[in-house]
Amino acid sequence: MLPAFYAGRRVMITGGLGFIGSNLARRLAALGADVLLVDSLIPDYGGNLFNIDGLEGQVRVNVADVRQASTMNYLVRDREVIFNLAGQVSHIDSMRDPHTDLDINCRSQLTLLEACRHHNPGVKVVYASTRQIYGKPERLPVTEQHLVRPTDVNGINKAAGEYYHLVYNNVFGVRACSLRLTNIYGPRQLIRHNRQGFIGWFIRLALEDQEIQVFGDGSQIRDFVYVDDAVEAFLRAGATDAVNGEAFNVGGDEHITHRDLVELLVAIAGTGRFRFVEWPPEKKAIDIGSFYTDASRFKAATGWAPTVPMREGLTRTFAFYRAHYDRYVGGGEGAAPS
């Protein structure tokens, strides 16, 4: 069904040079879609031209900021599906500079949705939300019935971004849905700094044979999704009208403690080591304890299920970064300057 749906389909990916966006672009190109990537290449945000290395001639790249209304009004016009992944994803940056996070995670979403409302109301939009909007869970696994109670500004603004999509679906008929992604990992993730979640950073440290510091006793549980499975979730959401107007958890079936995760990382990498350290107070203040989601609503609606086990996904990930280390850590020409 997906090959038939996406062959020749005119799609746009905002944040298309980023981690998930570029993996999605590769899959869509392979499916024969007409792929337009929009990315602002803001330093430190995850956009990296090397992410689409080898896709020359198969995708179009338009460097632009989603906040810029006239640009978006033009770019959305002939698109049939928009995968809306552009955003500021650092919790920590959002607490240092909340106004910028607001601009990038809220204003940009309104600009995109207004562009669709006025210039392409027939488009379908799939929004990349995050499990982070739930905050500290009251019970596990977390279903979509759990209250949204973000613990940082980034989580708040991501929640607002999601709600805009659902309101534009319900009120203006711009078909849209939202995927609340758990921890996604895999090739092409930003590992240049440690402000965008811990998994990419841990992978880099293991790769560099450095020490990974695990906060507390490492007993916090997380679920993970390999990026190819996340891409599959976006494709199915984009092709399924049954999900319109709804937000869904997209999470992994494997739950793993931080302790077991770093043991696995070090074992697969064959390099690196780890040590348990006290929680830094500023991180403890926005920590949420254990977290894993129940993705059964999304599975039922779309038939999606994760297929790549963590051991396999991490093995592929380390192989990728070993082959292309300079493009993600050094000052390689493909990387956005930081």
List the one residue out of 14, 22, 59 whose CA is nearest residue 40: 14
Contact between 93 and a copy of itself (CB under 8 A)? no
Q: Report the nearest approach of a copy of itself to the CB of residue 283 (Å).
A: 11
Quote the CA–CA distance of 39 and 47 in Å, as a whole number: 7
**Which of residues 111 and 220 has its CB atom nearest to a copy of itself in the complex?**
111
Segment contacting a copy of itself (CB under 8 A): 45-53, 148-156, 192-200, 203-211? 148-156
Q: Report the nearest approach of a copy of itself to the CB of residue 336 (Å).
A: 27
Binding mask 255-294 for a copy of itself (x = CB under 8 A): ------------------------------xx--------
Q: What is the DSSP letter of 293?
A: B
Binding mask 113-132 for a copy of itself (x = CB under 8 A): xx------------------
Segment contacting a copy of itself (CB under 8 A): 152-160, 187-195, 222-230, 312-320? 152-160
Contact between 163 and a copy of itself (CB under 8 A)? yes
Contact 72, 66 (CB under 8 A): yes
Segment contacting a copy of itself (CB under 8 A): 38-46, 74-82, 157-165, 249-257? 157-165
Quote the CA–CA distance of 88 and 154 in Å, as a whole number: 8
Contact 11, 33 (CB under 8 A): yes
Contact between 242 and a copy of itself (CB under 8 A)? no
Report the site for a copy of itself in 168-187 (rule: CB under 8 A): 170-171
Q: What are phi and psi of 72, to 5 degrees?
A: -70, -40
**Residue from the set 152, 223, 229, 232 that interacts with a copy of itself by CB under 8 A:** 152
**Around Cβ 248, how many Cβ atoms within 10 Å?**
25
Report the site for a copy of itself in 96-115 (rule: CB under 8 A): 98-99, 102, 106-107, 110-111, 113-114
Report the site for a copy of itself in 42-71 (rule: CB under 8 A): none
List the one residue out of 170, 180, 185 whose CA is nearest residue 234: 180
CA distances from 110 to 29, 37, 289 (A): 28, 19, 32
DSSP notation for 94-145: HHH-HHHHHIIIIIHHHHHHHHHHHH-TT-EEEEEEEGGGG-S-SSSSB-TT
Tell whether the torsion through CA atoms of 247, 130, 62 and 323 is positive or negative: negative
Contact 42, 14 (CB under 8 A): no
**Residue from the set 75, 89, 159, 335 that interacts with a copy of itself by CB under 8 A:** 159
**Residue from the set 166, 221, 264, 301 that interacts with a copy of itself by CB under 8 A:** 166
| Binding-site ranges for a copy of itself (CB under 8 A) | 95, 98-99, 102, 106-107, 110-111, 113-114, 145, 147-153, 156-157, 159-160, 163-164, 166-167, 170-171, 285-286
